Amino acid sequence: MKPYGWVGGVVLLGFLPYAALVGVLRRATRGWSPLAGWLVSDLVPVLAALAAVFAYERSSRGGSWQASAIRLGLGRPRWQVLASGFVAGLPAWLALLAAMLRPGADAAPGRHVVLTIIRVVLAQALLEELVFRGLLFRRLVDQLPLQRAAVLSAVAFGLSHVGNLVGKGLSRQSLVEVGIQVFLTTVLALAPIRLVYNGAGLLWGACIWHLMIDTAIFFPGVTPDGSSALVLVFGTLLTLPASWVAARTLLRGQARG
Protein backbone atom coordinates (compact mmCIF):
# COMPACT_ATOMS: atom_id res chain seq x y z
CA MET A 1 0.00 0.00 0.00
CA LYS A 2 1.24 3.51 -0.83
CA PRO A 3 2.06 5.98 2.00
CA TYR A 4 -1.08 8.12 1.61
CA GLY A 5 -3.14 4.97 1.48
CA TRP A 6 -1.74 3.97 4.86
CA VAL A 7 -2.50 7.38 6.32
CA GLY A 8 -6.06 7.38 4.99
CA GLY A 9 -6.67 3.79 5.98
CA VAL A 10 -5.47 4.22 9.56
CA VAL A 11 -7.29 7.52 10.14
CA LEU A 12 -10.52 7.11 8.16
CA LEU A 13 -11.09 3.36 8.38
CA GLY A 14 -9.40 2.68 11.67
CA PHE A 15 -9.03 5.27 14.37
CA LEU A 16 -11.80 7.75 13.53
CA PRO A 17 -14.52 5.06 13.69
CA TYR A 18 -13.00 3.80 16.94
CA ALA A 19 -12.93 7.31 18.45
CA ALA A 20 -16.48 7.95 17.25
CA LEU A 21 -17.67 4.71 18.84
CA VAL A 22 -16.05 5.63 22.15
CA GLY A 23 -17.67 9.07 21.98
CA VAL A 24 -21.12 7.58 21.34
CA LEU A 25 -20.72 5.08 24.17
CA ARG A 26 -19.58 7.78 26.60
CA ARG A 27 -22.63 9.88 25.82
CA ALA A 28 -24.88 6.82 26.15
CA THR A 29 -23.44 5.89 29.54
CA ARG A 30 -23.72 9.32 31.16
CA GLY A 31 -25.47 8.91 34.46
CA TRP A 32 -24.21 5.36 34.91
CA SER A 33 -21.93 4.51 37.80
CA PRO A 34 -18.29 5.44 37.03
CA LEU A 35 -17.17 1.80 36.92
CA ALA A 36 -19.99 0.55 34.68
CA GLY A 37 -19.68 3.49 32.31
CA TRP A 38 -15.92 3.03 32.06
CA LEU A 39 -16.22 -0.69 31.32
CA VAL A 40 -18.72 -0.16 28.50
CA SER A 41 -17.37 3.04 26.94
CA ASP A 42 -13.62 2.59 27.37
CA LEU A 43 -12.36 -0.86 28.32
CA VAL A 44 -14.36 -2.99 25.87
CA PRO A 45 -13.61 -0.82 22.76
CA VAL A 46 -9.92 -0.57 23.70
CA LEU A 47 -9.48 -4.31 24.14
CA ALA A 48 -11.30 -4.97 20.86
CA ALA A 49 -9.10 -2.43 19.05
CA LEU A 50 -5.90 -3.91 20.51
CA ALA A 51 -6.97 -7.37 19.36
CA ALA A 52 -7.72 -5.98 15.88
CA VAL A 53 -4.27 -4.39 15.58
CA PHE A 54 -2.49 -7.62 16.50
CA ALA A 55 -4.75 -9.69 14.24
CA TYR A 56 -4.12 -7.35 11.30
CA GLU A 57 -0.36 -7.42 11.81
CA ARG A 58 -0.30 -11.20 11.98
CA SER A 59 -2.58 -11.69 8.97
CA SER A 60 -0.62 -9.21 6.81
CA ARG A 61 2.91 -10.28 7.74
CA GLY A 62 2.45 -13.84 9.03
CA GLY A 63 4.35 -15.50 11.84
CA SER A 64 3.40 -16.06 15.45
CA TRP A 65 1.63 -13.66 17.82
CA GLN A 66 4.97 -13.08 19.53
CA ALA A 67 6.62 -12.20 16.22
CA SER A 68 3.79 -9.78 15.48
CA ALA A 69 4.28 -8.09 18.85
CA ILE A 70 8.00 -7.70 18.18
CA ARG A 71 7.38 -6.22 14.73
CA LEU A 72 4.94 -3.74 16.28
CA GLY A 73 7.68 -2.55 18.65
CA LEU A 74 6.90 -4.58 21.76
CA GLY A 75 10.16 -6.49 21.88
CA ARG A 76 12.30 -6.83 25.01
CA PRO A 77 12.90 -3.31 26.35
CA ARG A 78 16.34 -1.94 27.17
CA TRP A 79 16.83 0.35 30.13
CA GLN A 80 17.92 3.17 27.82
CA VAL A 81 14.60 3.01 25.97
CA LEU A 82 12.59 3.07 29.20
CA ALA A 83 14.68 5.90 30.62
CA SER A 84 14.31 7.93 27.43
CA GLY A 85 10.53 7.86 27.76
CA PHE A 86 10.70 9.02 31.37
CA VAL A 87 13.10 11.87 30.57
CA ALA A 88 10.97 12.95 27.62
CA GLY A 89 7.76 12.96 29.65
CA LEU A 90 9.20 14.53 32.81
CA PRO A 91 8.23 18.15 31.97
CA ALA A 92 4.57 17.10 31.80
CA TRP A 93 4.69 15.56 35.27
CA LEU A 94 6.47 18.61 36.67
CA ALA A 95 3.67 20.75 35.22
CA LEU A 96 1.10 18.41 36.80
CA LEU A 97 2.85 18.74 40.15
CA ALA A 98 2.78 22.54 39.84
CA ALA A 99 -0.95 22.42 39.05
CA MET A 100 -1.67 20.13 42.00
CA LEU A 101 0.25 22.34 44.41
CA ARG A 102 -1.51 25.52 43.39
CA PRO A 103 -3.67 27.20 46.07
CA GLY A 104 -7.14 25.67 46.21
CA ALA A 105 -6.27 22.50 44.30
CA ASP A 106 -8.88 19.77 44.78
CA ALA A 107 -8.05 16.14 45.51
CA ALA A 108 -9.84 13.76 43.15
CA PRO A 109 -11.62 10.63 44.42
CA GLY A 110 -9.33 7.61 44.41
CA ARG A 111 -11.53 5.47 42.15
CA HIS A 112 -11.67 8.16 39.48
CA VAL A 113 -7.88 8.45 39.53
CA VAL A 114 -7.43 4.69 39.13
CA LEU A 115 -9.94 4.45 36.28
CA THR A 116 -8.37 7.43 34.53
CA ILE A 117 -4.87 6.00 34.73
CA ILE A 118 -5.99 2.57 33.49
CA ARG A 119 -7.83 4.23 30.61
CA VAL A 120 -4.75 6.26 29.75
CA VAL A 121 -2.46 3.21 29.89
CA LEU A 122 -4.66 1.11 27.59
CA ALA A 123 -6.27 3.62 25.24
CA GLN A 124 -3.66 6.33 24.86
CA ALA A 125 -0.29 4.99 25.91
CA LEU A 126 -0.58 1.51 24.38
CA LEU A 127 -3.26 1.53 21.68
CA GLU A 128 -2.37 4.87 20.10
CA GLU A 129 1.35 4.07 20.09
CA LEU A 130 0.68 0.67 18.50
CA VAL A 131 -1.49 2.20 15.77
CA PHE A 132 0.40 5.39 14.94
CA ARG A 133 4.02 4.52 15.72
CA GLY A 134 4.13 0.71 15.76
CA LEU A 135 1.99 0.23 12.66
CA LEU A 136 1.69 3.45 10.64
CA PHE A 137 5.09 5.09 11.16
CA ARG A 138 6.90 1.78 10.63
CA ARG A 139 5.14 1.31 7.29
CA LEU A 140 5.79 4.91 6.22
CA VAL A 141 9.47 4.97 7.13
CA ASP A 142 10.00 1.83 5.03
CA GLN A 143 8.81 3.78 1.97
CA LEU A 144 9.72 7.41 2.64
CA PRO A 145 12.57 9.54 4.00
CA LEU A 146 12.47 9.85 7.78
CA GLN A 147 11.37 13.51 7.89
CA ARG A 148 8.45 12.96 5.51
CA ALA A 149 7.36 9.78 7.29
CA ALA A 150 7.50 11.60 10.62
CA VAL A 151 5.38 14.52 9.39
CA LEU A 152 2.78 12.28 7.74
CA SER A 153 2.39 10.06 10.79
CA ALA A 154 2.18 13.13 13.07
CA VAL A 155 -0.53 14.69 10.89
CA ALA A 156 -2.44 11.39 10.90
CA PHE A 157 -2.25 11.27 14.69
CA GLY A 158 -3.55 14.82 14.95
CA LEU A 159 -6.42 14.24 12.51
CA SER A 160 -7.52 11.16 14.43
CA HIS A 161 -8.63 13.49 17.26
CA VAL A 162 -11.41 14.87 15.04
CA GLY A 163 -13.35 11.87 16.33
CA ASN A 164 -13.61 13.65 19.69
CA LEU A 165 -16.36 15.80 18.16
CA VAL A 166 -18.72 12.86 18.52
CA GLY A 167 -18.45 12.96 22.29
CA LYS A 168 -18.70 16.76 22.45
CA GLY A 169 -21.35 17.47 19.86
CA LEU A 170 -21.14 20.13 17.11
CA SER A 171 -20.87 23.68 18.42
CA ARG A 172 -18.50 26.61 18.03
CA GLN A 173 -16.86 25.79 21.33
CA SER A 174 -16.40 22.11 20.52
CA LEU A 175 -14.97 22.92 17.08
CA VAL A 176 -12.43 25.29 18.65
CA GLU A 177 -11.52 22.77 21.36
CA VAL A 178 -11.06 19.90 18.92
CA GLY A 179 -9.18 22.15 16.50
CA ILE A 180 -6.72 23.01 19.27
CA GLN A 181 -6.42 19.31 20.12
CA VAL A 182 -5.66 18.44 16.49
CA PHE A 183 -2.95 21.10 16.29
CA LEU A 184 -1.30 20.26 19.62
CA THR A 185 -1.37 16.49 19.10
CA THR A 186 0.12 16.88 15.62
CA VAL A 187 3.02 18.87 17.06
CA LEU A 188 3.45 16.62 20.09
CA ALA A 189 3.49 13.47 17.93
CA LEU A 190 7.01 14.35 16.80
CA ALA A 191 8.29 13.44 20.28
CA PRO A 192 7.37 9.73 20.30
CA ILE A 193 8.50 9.40 16.68
CA ARG A 194 11.96 10.53 17.77
CA LEU A 195 11.97 8.03 20.65
CA VAL A 196 10.78 5.14 18.47
CA TYR A 197 13.20 5.80 15.61
CA ASN A 198 16.22 6.32 17.83
CA GLY A 199 15.11 3.40 20.02
CA ALA A 200 15.49 0.89 17.16
CA GLY A 201 11.73 0.70 16.67
CA LEU A 202 10.82 -0.20 20.27
CA LEU A 203 7.63 1.45 21.53
CA TRP A 204 8.27 1.30 25.28
CA GLY A 205 9.86 4.74 25.55
CA ALA A 206 7.04 6.29 23.51
CA CYS A 207 4.46 4.49 25.67
CA ILE A 208 6.02 5.89 28.86
CA TRP A 209 6.11 9.38 27.33
CA HIS A 210 2.47 9.04 26.28
CA LEU A 211 1.42 7.79 29.71
CA MET A 212 3.11 10.74 31.42
CA ILE A 213 1.61 13.24 28.96
CA ASP A 214 -1.93 11.96 29.30
CA THR A 215 -1.92 11.44 33.06
CA ALA A 216 -0.87 15.09 33.31
CA ILE A 217 -3.65 16.22 30.95
CA PHE A 218 -6.46 13.97 32.17
CA PHE A 219 -5.64 13.68 35.87
CA PRO A 220 -8.96 14.41 37.61
CA GLY A 221 -9.46 17.64 39.51
CA VAL A 222 -6.29 19.53 38.60
CA THR A 223 -7.45 21.86 35.78
CA PRO A 224 -10.48 23.81 37.02
CA ASP A 225 -9.07 27.15 35.86
CA GLY A 226 -7.34 28.55 32.83
CA SER A 227 -3.99 29.18 34.49
CA SER A 228 -3.57 25.53 35.46
CA ALA A 229 -4.49 24.43 31.94
CA LEU A 230 -1.84 26.76 30.48
CA VAL A 231 0.78 25.33 32.84
CA LEU A 232 -0.06 21.81 31.70
CA VAL A 233 -0.03 22.74 28.01
CA PHE A 234 3.35 24.42 28.42
CA GLY A 235 4.69 21.38 30.26
CA THR A 236 3.53 18.99 27.54
CA LEU A 237 5.11 21.13 24.81
CA LEU A 238 8.40 21.03 26.69
CA THR A 239 8.41 17.27 26.17
CA LEU A 240 9.42 17.96 22.56
CA PRO A 241 12.90 19.30 23.39
CA ALA A 242 13.09 16.78 26.25
CA SER A 243 12.57 13.94 23.77
CA TRP A 244 15.36 15.32 21.59
CA VAL A 245 17.71 15.43 24.59
CA ALA A 246 16.71 11.90 25.63
CA ALA A 247 17.27 10.55 22.12
CA ARG A 248 20.65 12.28 21.77
CA THR A 249 21.97 11.17 25.15
CA LEU A 250 20.34 7.80 25.92
CA LEU A 251 19.61 6.40 22.47
CA ARG A 252 22.71 7.46 20.57
CA GLY A 253 23.81 4.78 18.12
CA GLN A 254 20.59 2.74 18.50
CA ALA A 255 18.58 4.26 15.67
CA ARG A 256 16.48 2.05 13.49
CA GLY A 257 18.52 0.49 10.75
The pLDDT tens digits of the residues spanning 165-189 come to 765 666 777 788 878 888 999 999 9
Residue 159: closest CA among 57, 10, 4: 10
Read off the DSSP letter of residue 161. Answer: G
**Residue 6 and residue 240: Cα distance in Å, rounded?**
25
Instruction: Tell me the pLDDT tens digit for each residue of 124-146.
Output: 788 889 999 999 999 899 899 99
- pLDDT tens-digit profile, the chain (257 residues): 777 787 888 887 777 778 778 878 888 888 888 778 878 887 888 888 889 899 999 998 888 999 999 999 999 988 999 999 999 999 999 998 887 777 665 555 455 666 667 766 777 788 889 999 999 999 899 899 999 999 999 999 998 888 767 656 667 777 888 788 889 999 999 999 999 999 989 999 999 999 999 888 777 555 555 667 788 889 999 999 999 999 999 987 565 54
Residues in the chain: 257
pLDDT one-digit tens code per residue, 75-86: 998 899 999 999
Residues 6+ apart with CB under 8 A from 210: 89, 124, 125, 128, 129, 192
- Using left for φ > 0, alpha for ψ between -120 and 50, and beta otherwise, residue 62 falls in left
- Please give the single-letter amino acid code of residue 128: E
DSSP of 30-80: TTS-HHHHHIIIIIHHHHHHHHHHHHHHHHHH-S-HHHHHHHTT-SPPPHH
DSSP state of 189: T
**Could you tell me the pTM of the whole model?**
0.87
As a whole number of angstroms, the distance between CA 223 and CA 153 comes to 29
DSSP 99-168: HHTSTTPPPPPHHHHHHHHHHIIIIIIIIIHIIIIIIIIHHHHHHS-HHHHHHHHHHHHHHGGGGGHHHH
